[in-house]
Amino acid sequence: MPLGKGASRHTVGGSRRGTITHLLALSLGISLGSFISNLGGPLGLSGYFGSPREAGEGSGTGGTPNPARSGAERGGHFDARQDDAPGTYAEWISRVMPPSLAPVYVAPGALPFNLTMSILRRTRPVVGSTDRVRGFLTKLKKGQCTTSLMLGGSVTAGHNGGGPSNAYPKLFVDYLNARFPCTGADGGSGEHVYKTTNAGNSMSHATSFSSVSNLDRIDLILVEFNVNDHFMPGKDVPHALEDKGPWSDTLEYRSLWYSEMLLRKLLLLRKPDYPAIVVFNADYIGRIWAGNPWSDPKIARRDLFRYNQEPLKLWLSFLYDIPVFSASLFHLALASKLGTDVQFNFNETRDGHNPYGTNIWHADACCHPKADGHRVLALVLVYNFADELWRMDHDGSVGHEDRMEGDFTIDPRRPRLRDPVYMSPDEDGLYVRDSSDGVTIDLTDPNGEDAWRSKVV
């Protein structure tokens, strides 16, 4: 997919989907009340807009603002502070989702399955260092316009889900524009935007890093390769400068090696300051669970890690202290809970239908969410960023972490990376650090290839 951007400019009264007036939002809250009550709690008017004390705060719904808590009335920017955390999904969605976007997520049939707060809590398997994420959130709170870079493959592109206009990157940035209006360079209304690249996995991004380093500004990077790194081409590690031993010819080792190279490059990136980095596991390869004719159960058991790389990548994210948001972990657990015979509901019986079956949100047996599945992915992102924003204002431990918990890679004078795990010091020196800014070597450049080709073992 060519380099491009997607955005929706924030306008008074709504987003690109159209202006939603106070009257329409009010009638929507009434008409959808019974539906949302099934999602976790009763929804009267106060449930849709928040409790009475919150009416009018950050949503354009009118009411008398609370000067101690209202942020929407101060400079027009959202203030996430709340007195208490929501107890149900209905309460949560009413607080974080602007009324202009609420129909996208709460209308009957908007989501492929029921979401609860318990499910959403399962979507951050690695908390990681929060310094970078909180830096991004601080920009949003200040009304600064941001650029998000979505590194991913066909899932990120919305393949079989309606294309980029229906995919989670566009939905997430629509949310940013509706919830966090920003000021443009000319002092007028600005917009949050996202960009994508035309590389498809960790290897192609690490070895063609100019597609990232040539961008002028990056505030957030989502790395979505849980599916595509399975399709990494080649054999062994073609850029290795040492003998990697008997495991080097496995897809798992090759994937981890290039993933580490990519993460190290991203951690040193400054565009113009350090970006937030989140590994986003948006989906998994479902066909291994589908049984014949898609997959032989014996082969599936033998090659499970080969098809689902998330366990391996979690290890790498832990070591580099990078947050991980995952839509695949909770769903895979729920989809297989009634047995693999109904993992896809292909062989369902009266008592065997699984409301979280893989084909409920997959458009095919592989790995591509339907349009409503992309709404779930967007909600996973919204939940985790909103949760971190809430903690910035309420968690008493914030600001009191041990010094060793901090992110040493963001030091403005001497950013420090941990020692590499799979890369050798020589490989790290050549592929990660050996350029003017430490990150711009392009291994596909014929002139740059001479720098490493003669050194490959």
Nearest to 261 by CA among 153, 118, 421: 421
Question: What's the pLDDT tens digit per position in 155-165?
Answer: 999 999 999 99
Q: Report pLDDT digits (tens) over 398-439.
A: 777 788 888 999 998 889 999 999 999 999 998 898 743 333
DSSP classification of residue 267: H
| 186-198 residue pLDDT tens | 999 999 999 998 7
**For residue 29, what pLDDT band results from cuts at 50, 70 and 90?**
very low
Cα(322)–Cα(366) distance, rounded to whole angstroms? 27
For 217-251, what is each residue's pLDDT tens digit? 999 999 999 888 888 877 888 889 999 998 888 88
Q: Which residue has the higher pLDDT, 280 or 238?
A: 280
Q: What is the pTM of this model?
A: 0.79
Strand, coil or helix: 140: helix
Per-residue tokens: 99: 């009324």
Q: In Å, what is the CA distance from 375 to each residue of 115, 204, 226, 368?
A: 11, 28, 18, 13
State the pLDDT at residue 228.
87
Helices 89-96 & 371-394, crossing angle to 10 degrees? 80
Q: How confident is the model at residue 350 (pLDDT cuts 50, 70, 90)?
A: low
Residue 10: CB partners within 8 Å, gap ≥ 6? Answer: 177, 178, 181, 182, 189, 191
- The pair of three-digit structure tokens given for residue 398, joined into one six-digit string: 């914030």
Token output for 322:
């990078």
Task: Quote the Cα angle for 115-117-121, to 5°.
Answer: 110
For residue 72, which amino acid is it? Answer: A
State the Cα angle at 121 between 164 and 266, rounded to 5°: 55
Average pLDDT for 31-47: 34
How high is the pLDDT of residue 291? 66
